[in-house]
Amino acid sequence: MKNLVVLTGAGMSAESGISTFRDAGGLWERYPVEQVATPEGYAANPELVINFYNERRKQLLDVRPNRGHELLAGMEGSFNVTVITQNVDNLHERAGSSHVIHLHGELTKVTSSRHPNDPRYIRELRPDEYEVKMGDKAADGSQLRPFIVWFGEPVPMIETAIGFVRKADVFVIIGTSLNVYPAAGLLYYVPEGVPVYLIDPNEVSVASARKVTVIRKGASEGVAELKKMLSE
């Protein structure tokens, strides 16, 4: 089976009702990024940051995977599908995708404030634990913090992602502005001659000389069209 590698961003989950960060009316307009998505913001006001992610987490209880998520999961019957996502939601997994690499962390997990990437301290929350409070401790005694990669922090999963991109037979980009690095740089690791598809209703500028087949549609319609193209 061919290796289908998919990079997804906020536009993948937008149809499910998850707020995107960068679009008009997005989360960054309501919450300055420095306050809720940087180590400095967390150090200055941990309670604000913890509550911000509590709200994001509770939103997961009200949203469902969209047809785009489901179609991608269904493509595992025809391809070895690896989903590399910039999203911190769990909608790919809930739709049935079995191999998902989260570049920017996972909303449903918490970790140590002291050693955020130490696997000993990372744990999955049950839905009844989605409200994290000040004073809730990780196993090392530090405050539990969201398992999220904030701006200015290293992206531990990027090397793993690059390894899969290098072996891609088909590479697909869905719903990402290609503005956030290192994720946006994954395109440079796609082998020469491998077809690249970009699904987005908006115009996305691709800083690469390679040929990209653009499908100007939202995630659900776009993945349906991609599926048709790949089966021809």
Query: Is the backbone of residue 21 left (phi > 0), alpha (psi -120 to 50) or beta?
Result: alpha
Strands (E), 179-222: 196-199, 212-215
Catalytic residue (one of 92, 99, 104, 115): 104
Distances (CA, A) of 54 to 49, 132, 200: 9, 7, 29
Give yes or no: 115 in active site: no
Q: Which residues are catalytic?
A: 104
